[in-house]
Structure 1
Amino acid sequence: MSTTFAVPGIPFGLTPSPGSDWVVAGDRVEVVAPAHTDLFIDPSGESGTAAESMLNAVTLLGAPGAGDFVFSARVHAGFGAMFDAAVLLVWADERHWAKLCFEQSPAGTPMVVSVVTRGVSDDANSFTVDGDAVWLRISRVGRLFALHASTDGDWWHFVRAFALGDGIDEVRLGFEGQSPTGEGCRVSFERVSFARETLGDLRDGR
């Protein structure tokens, strides 16, 4: 039987992926992402399939239920290698999901990155971050999902908006850690918040 975690700020339980070692201590959630772990389905078709190594990142996910929401956290990553990342994740199934990442870029600079997967993954860089932490936020507005990031938890930069696909109503929501090219990465999440509310204007910074 899977362990269910209660995370302060989230009104539903979260279940870890098999073999992952998530820890909840006070209001902080953390895990060490193992070496060579990631969530990505290469659109070129050259990196394999969903059944292979591309969907082996450690996750901690729960079901928010129907309706709009706003989910956010301040995230940290102990970067050691390219594409190490701490991630907020919304997951429908192995071919429909999206992640908002605090990730180490190929230039060695921390960066906000988003990936939306509908059959295959896309990949878009947003902005660089001066430091080892950033605020990330995923919101649902009807069938639309919106991603935002903030350096101070007050003013939110719009990253992107998208739909995962027709007929996708039930999703799981939570955290992910990855280290695709490295030997592991410690990631943590704090000041976690989940609100059953509808976000207003996606581009007004609130």
Structure 2
Amino acid sequence: MNQVPDTSPLPFPVTASHPGVWRYDDAAGAVIAAAPARTDLYIDPGGADSADAETTLNAATLLGLPPGGDFQLSARVSVDFRAQYDAGVLLLWADETHWGKFCFEFSPSSAPMIVSVVTRGVSDDANAFTVEGHVVWLRVSRIDRVYAYHASVDGTTWQLIRVFHLGDDMTGHRVGFEAQSPTGDGCTVAFDRISFTPRRLAELRDGS
């Protein structure tokens, strides 16, 4: 098992995919990742015959198995964006062909953006909205058989980004963090104000 930082807000053990990427900054109260160059999680929906086909499964992850039942995992995410698609991510992981990414990502127009990617054999890609600055709050919630993504620019008012399904058997689904730099030489991602609540989200649409 790779060395992992102190993630005491999470009430379950976590495992790092890459040694030396993750650390805990006690002064900042943040989990920090130094995303390696040319790393991502993506399976091109166009297939192997697509002109720009890409399958990359080498991003740095920090994942653990949450307790059963509904939950909410949130964090404030900051990224020192350097290259296109640099991102800090809340990640849901079932297996190598089924996962969900909730990304704070650097868009092709050089604007920080909220992006979601759900992979069921192949990956989709959905842009939500741009963000002023390099900080945003992200939250993933499990509600019965579905997951929901919400984003917030102030940590108080949440906007629903996506609701989706990753399969009926959710017992092995892991959750945690990811850092990526698909086209660049790496970036630094910080996750702070981490909160895990084993409680059902009261209102799906407004995120309260």
Q: Which consecutive unaligned segments of at least 5 residues does structure 1 have?
A: none
SS of residue matched to 2:44? coil
Three-state SS of the structure 1 residue aligned to 2:73 is: strand
Q: 1:191 aligns to what?
A: 193
SS in 2 for 1:23: strand
Deviations 1:41-96 (A, max 9, x none): 110114355xxxx1100000111021110000000001011100000001011111
Runs (5+) with no aligned partner, structure 2 = none
The residue matched to 1:164 in structure 2 has which SS? coil
Report the secondary structure of 1:175's partner residue.
strand
Separation of aligned partners in 2, 1:144 and 1:13: 23
Which letter maps to 1:199? L
- Structure 1 moving runs of 4+ over 6 Å: none
Match of 1:139 among 141, 150, 153: 141
- Alpha-carbon distance in 2 for matches of 1:36, 1:73: 24
| Selected match of 2:160 from 158, 161, 167 | 158
Q: 1:4 deviation in Å?
A: 4.5
Match of 2:128 in 1: 126
Counterpart of 2:6 in 1: which secondary structure?
coil
Q: How does 1:65-144 map to 2 (within 5 A)?
A: 65-144=67-146
Which moved further from structure 2: 17-26 or 148-157?
Answer: 17-26
User: Secondary structure in 2 aligned to 1:138?
Assistant: strand
After superposing the two structures, state which structure 1 stretch, 77-86 or 161-170, moved more: 161-170
Amino acid aligned to 2:36? P
Query: Partners in 1 of 2:122 and 2:6 — Cα distance?
Result: 32
* TM-score between both structures, scaled by the size of structure 2: 0.93
> Helix, strand or coil for the counterpart of 2:43?
coil
Q: Is contact 2:3-2:19 (8 Å) kept?
A: no
Structure 2: how far apart are the matches of 1:12 and 1:23? 17
Query: Alpha-carbon deviations, 1:165-205, whole Å to 9, x = none?
Result: 23343211110000001111111100000000001221124
- Structure 1 CA distance, aligned partners of 2:54 and 2:144? 33
Change (3 A) 1:20 1:163: farther
TM-score normalised by the chain length of structure 1: 0.94
**Percent of aligned positions with the same letter in both sequences?**
55
- Distance (Å, rounded) in 2 between the aligned partners of 1:4 and 1:33: 15
State how far apart, in whole Å, the 1-side matches of 2:18 and 2:33 are.
13
Range moving further from structure 2, 12-21 or 146-155 = 12-21
Q: Contact conserved, 2:99 with 2:166, CA < 8 A, in 1?
A: yes
Give the aligned partner of residue 11 of structure 1.
Answer: 11
Q: Which moved more, 1:196-205 or 1:3-12?
A: 3-12
Give the number of aligned pairs: 202
Between the aligned partners of 2:85 and 2:128, the Cα distance in structure 1 is 14
Could you tell me how far apart the structure 1 residues matched to 2:188 and 2:109 are? 20
